[in-house]
Amino acid sequence: MTDKFISIEGIARRYPGANGDATTVFENLWLSMARGEFGCVIGHSGCGKTTVLNILAGLDEPSAGTVIVDGQAIEGTSLDRAVIFQSHALLPWRTVLGNVAYAVSSKWRKWDRARVKTHAQKFIDLVGLSGSEHKHPSELSGGMKQRVGIARALSIMPKIMLMDEPFSALDALTRGTLQDEVRRICLETGQTTFMITHDVDEAIFLADRIFLMTNGPGARLAEIVENPLPKDRGRIDLHRHPYYYALRNHIVDFLVSRSKSFATDVPDHDARHVPTVRPGVGDPVIVSPPRVVEPNAAQSAAR
């Protein structure tokens, strides 16, 4: 990949143990993303997914290595990187408009109230909350609260939107609706997004690339999965695509079996040159560098 808008370079995270030994969550992690890309990290609990996100956000520091965003090494938090957490984290005494406006005024301190309000309203409308501007969080459903969180994150026009399982506590219908909204917004705005999830189907629907982490402690980035499904994919017909089940089965197989035995199965794993695969196109083929497969031939191979 030539456009390394996000470049995670050899980072590690270690914590001191009670007996003086360090516990290594992950070691020598290399990962890059292009501008406008949607990336999802999947792995079992304890592999360091959220820790990687916190390092990207500037909320934590790596024990080794560095993270570069748009040519600048990360040093602490920044309004260039917006985080959407599992909980909505709204200010309960502020209205919907007040919560979003607070973020806007924090980024553009010299704007007057009218300009702040107009800018905030645009993003409230974008997430479908027109008419709820003057409601407080206590008057909103869980899905509406997360919409406010998304509007607040997008309103500061960040270089990166960081999402830590933001839909995991929602019911299936609300979760699907918000996934649709996030995908629509990211396609329309070209927003670069880095997301943590445990949900395979969520990753398949949202992500351009899916990063597979082995089990922790001592987790590694084992594989990068390129999503072979079309950019304009829809939820209703997603499972009908000839590559869908090859993609899903490949990720599930990794989570169920390969993630546990990866260190033994691949002892010479090169952390700087992690293989990229495109399931469904071949058996699956390694596509580093990518190769072009004619649609008819690819569908025949998938069968």
CA dist., res. 124 & res. 145, Å (int): 11
Is 48's pLDDT higher than 80? yes
Q: Give the pLDDT of residue 282.
A: 63
> What would the pLDDT profile of 88-108 be if each residue is shown by its tens digit?
789 999 999 999 999 999 999
Please check the confidence at residue 255 and state whether its pLDDT lies above 90.
Answer: yes
What is the average pLDDT across 218-225? 94
Orientation angle between helical segments 96-107 and 142-155, nearest 10 degrees: 20
Backbone φ, ψ for residue 23 (5° rounding)? -95, 120
Stretch 221-244: mean pLDDT, rounded?
Answer: 92
Measured CA to CA, the distance from residue 223 to residue 277 in angstroms comes to 8
Look-up: residue for tokens 């007057």?
A: 112
Residue showing tokens 């979760």:
175
80 to 188, 203, 259: CA distances (angstroms)? 19, 24, 33
Q: What is the pLDDT of residues 145-165, one digit of tens each?
A: 999 999 999 999 999 999 999
Q: Tell me the pTM.
A: 0.88
Q: How far apart are CA 185 and CA 127, in angstroms?
A: 8
pLDDT band at 283 (very low <50, low <70, confident <90, very high): low
In sequence order, the 6+-apart residues with CB closer than 8 A to the CB of 107 are 79, 156, 157
